[in-house]
């Protein structure tokens, strides 16, 4: 929980302290309000005339809403949005944001999206909302990728939250693919579960008509690039939710305000 004072002035890796007056008592910000603060800060990167990748999820929806409001107010013009999911497409259309796709705009100026985990090297886990394939395609085509999170998403290593690492797979013989994933990741204490969410407990189906197997890991995977390559070599795997070396900037809203972390190419981060 955070104090209800606007912390958007914080623009470095070290948050500023917030002076708290004794009266009236400070209200506390919810996790959703922290997400909104981070999202609004990310929209500061948006300029008129840009092609934008529009993220999916509980944090990204605030950014999409703010972009729509700025367009309505005339503070932004000539924006083209590339949505990362059908849900985001519906939201953007309802706000009057002009939309297109990667076929028409293969180079994107800026993408804004949330993340489920962020490690110290700004590697990400995404896809717990089910949109990882389109997110990776669009955000991978972006000149700049700004990630917006609250501080609960920061982890020491990928998989450190002990929550799902999603892998999108084809429905054909999904049990076979899920077992191959479990065997591959067994050394990391892996449990592989088909994601449910359809009617009557049926499999969750992505916008691309695929299934998702969620991997729950007990141990640090170490060399993420090697693990990524091994997962992608398995027949039946479409894509995984590790977004490695893709984020340009991560905006983190927390108790002491907002921190902005930028990608650093140095030997100190050999993730």
Q: Please identify every residue annotated as catalytic.
A: 135
Backbone angles phi, psi at 154, to 5 degrees: -80, 130
Q: Which residues pair with 113 in a beta bridge?
A: 147
Distance of CA 147 to the CA centre of its chain: 6
Measured CA to CA, the distance from residue 56 to residue 115 in angstroms comes to: 10
Residue 161 near residue 126, CB atoms below 8 Å: no
Measured CA to CA, the distance from residue 260 to residue 271 in angstroms comes to: 19
Nearest to residue 265, comparing CAs of 243, 247, 241, 242?
247
Nearest to residue 53, comparing CAs of 142, 169, 128, 126?
142
- Residue 203 DSSP code: B
| CA atoms 139, 203, 173, 194: torsion sign | positive
- Residue 87 DSSP code: H
Within the chain, how many helices (H) and strands (E) appear?
Answer: 6, 15
CB within 8 Å of 209: residues ≥ 6 apart? 171
What kind and span of H or E run contains 237? strand 237-240
Q: At what angle do helices 60-72 and 86-94 cross, to 10 degrees?
A: 30
């Amino acid at each position: 929980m955070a104090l209800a004072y606007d912390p958007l002035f914080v623009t470095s890796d070290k948050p500023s302290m917030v002076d708290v007056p004794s009266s009236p008592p400070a209200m506390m910000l919810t996790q959703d309000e922290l997400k909104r603060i981070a999202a609004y800060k990310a929209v500061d990167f948006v300029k008129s005339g840009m092609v934008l990748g529009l993220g999916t999820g509980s944090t990204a929806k605030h950014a999409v809403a703010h972009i729509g409001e700025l367009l309505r107010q005339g503070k932004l013009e000539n924006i083209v949005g590339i949505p990362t999911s059908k849900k985001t497409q519906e939201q953007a259309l309802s706000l009057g944001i002009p939309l297109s796709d990667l076929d028409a705009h293969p180079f994107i100026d800026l993408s804004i999206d949330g993340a489920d985990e962020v490690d110290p090297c700004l590697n990400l886990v995404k896809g717990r909302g089910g949109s990882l394939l389109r997110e990776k395609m669009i955000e991978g085509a972006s000149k700049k990728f700004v990630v917006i999170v609250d501080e609960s998403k920061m982890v020491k290593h990928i998989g450190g939250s002990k929550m799902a690492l999603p892998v999108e797979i084809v429905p054909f013989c999904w049990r076979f693919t899920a077992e191959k994933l479990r065997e591959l990741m067994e050394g990391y204490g892996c449990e592989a579960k088909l994601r449910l969410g359809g009617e009557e407990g049926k499999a969750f189906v992505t916008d691309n008509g695929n299934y998702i197997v969620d991997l729950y890991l007990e141990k640090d995977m170490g060399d993420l690039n090697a693990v990524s390559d091994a997962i992608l070599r398995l027949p039946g795997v479409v894509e995984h939710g590790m977004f490695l070396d893709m984020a340009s900037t991560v905006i983190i809203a927390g108790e002491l305000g907002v921190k902005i972390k930028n990608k650093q190419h140095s030997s100190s981060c050999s993730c």
